[in-house]
Amino acid sequence: MHSHAIMESQLLLRLDNGLRVAYVCRPGAKVDYLALSVNVGSRDDAPGYEGLAHFVEHTIFKGTDMHRSSYIINRMEAVGGELNAYTTKEETVVYTVAPAGSLRRSVDLLYELIAHSTFPQAEIDREREVVLDEIASYLDSPADAVVDNFEDMMFPSNGIGHNILGTKESVMGLSGDICRQYLKRYFVPSNMVVVYAGPSSSDDVMRLLSRTFARLDHPLPELRRVRPEPPLRVLDEVDDMGLHQSHTVAGAVIPGAKSPERHALSLLSNILGGPGMNSLLNVELREKRGLVYSVDCAMSMFGDCGLMEIYFGCDDEDTARCLRRIKAVITRVCDGYITPARLAKAKRQYLGQLIVGNENVEARMLALGRYVTLFDSLPEPRLTIEAIQSLSADDIARAASYLAADRLCRLTLR
């Protein structure tokens, strides 16, 4: 293990107003990472306002009480850093990456954005066109669209199902006033986590945050997230779009991110269609039969439920054959194909991937805010490793039963 990993230490701290601060000390590091993770995402968009969380994330950079957008977008870049943001179904993140020594600049900028953004109408109208272009671009990317459409198909009457971007109609109805109200409602201390990683001391970080974020004191209205109901029957839908290739997602509802089964499900997903070329579905569909260019298995894990989704693209006449082979592989796993010997190899590969992934500091820091939001604690890698190591062959077979033929839903765009 590299020396910097040994030297790293982490703390979970709080300001008096309830703002949680996940602090990761990286002695000798040359980069400061500062992220603001807000527990609100597209599933919290009100009916008729689909796309609002994503739209606010886009337009929060468009001007404040103190500065125009040109100042904001240049503030971090002037020192060689970056300012960025993204939205998921349950989270909005605004963050900076910059050379160490720029922390005060980062703190002041993030605070200014969430406390003083004005969402000027001219900028709103301009950015609306950008978002509408983004929505339209999905029509040219069926491999992306089929995943979003599958989630909408699985949860049609719940906010967790709709596309993060919203629709042309809903985005046309968003205004600066709506964005300001949204920011004031959700970007409050008890609903946010600040994540810092870099060489600065915890005292310095907390002092800088106290100068700014301690001024925030708005109470949070309770988030009313309704747990989505799983489909009452196996869904099997085909959407003809005149495509050259068929794009399919097959999947099922699984437990959420807090479930004790999450580790077994994660390992199962990796075994079936993880990044390794030796994944069962890649071997079955590509290496043995040349039916697909790519096939992968991924999980969307939310606070209260999740989806496991298998994506593949192929010639339309091969879609049914691919689905049969996928179901056959899942049935084998349910019936005990993952023996203790195979399981030991799968664990070694998965844990190795976690170690490699852990070297991406930026991705790790961005995931940290989400973890603290879910569990109100810091992750302990040792416990994750122990949880993976303790999984049995029966645990994997049980996890695979969520994808059994009588539960596996399918959406094809062709």
Task: Report pLDDT digits (tens) over 297-337.
Answer: 999 999 999 999 999 999 999 999 999 999 999 999 999 99
Percent of the chain scoring above 90 in pLDDT: 90
CATH number at residue 263: 3.30.830.10
Per-residue confidence (pLDDT) for residue 139, from 0 to 100: 75
Q: Is the pLDDT of residue 1 over 60?
A: no
**Is the torsion defined by CA of 173, 174, 177, 182 positive or negative?**
positive
Average pLDDT over residues 35-64: 96
* Same domain as 276, residue 163: no
Q: Is the pLDDT of residue 2 over 90?
A: no
CA 140 to chain CA centroid, nearest Å: 23
pLDDT-derived band of residue 223, with 50, 70 and 90 as boundaries?
A: confident
Q: Is the pLDDT of residue 231 over 50?
A: yes
Q: Is the pLDDT of residue 48 over 90?
A: yes
* Same domain as 296, residue 209: no
pLDDT-derived band of residue 3, with 50, 70 and 90 as boundaries?
A: very low
Taking residue 48's Cβ as centre, other Cβ atoms within 10 Å add up to: 10
DSSP state of 43: G
* Same domain as 16, residue 100: yes
In a domain, residue 299? The reply is: yes
In a domain, residue 303? The reply is: yes
In a domain, residue 220? The reply is: no
DSSP state of 46: P
**Number of domains comprising the chain:** 2
* Same domain as 131, residue 16: yes
Average pLDDT over residues 24-31: 96
Taking residue 182's Cβ as centre, other Cβ atoms within 10 Å add up to: 22
* pLDDT, tens digit (0-9, with 9 covering 90-100), for 350-366: 999 999 998 999 999 99
Answer yes or no: are the C-beta atoms of 308 and 254 closer than 8 Å: yes
* Same domain as 196, residue 303: no
User: Is 28 exposed, middle or buried, given 0-12, 13-18 or 19+ CB atoms closer than 10 A?
Assistant: exposed
pLDDT-derived band of residue 4, with 50, 70 and 90 as boundaries?
A: very low
In a domain, residue 359? The reply is: yes
In a domain, residue 271? The reply is: yes
Average pLDDT over residues 363-377: 96
* pLDDT, tens digit (0-9, with 9 covering 90-100), for 99-134: 999 999 999 999 999 999 999 999 999 999 999 999
Average pLDDT value over all residues in the chain: 94
pLDDT-derived band of residue 218, with 50, 70 and 90 as boundaries?
A: confident
Range of the domain at 356: 236-413
Tokens, residue 16: 């008096």
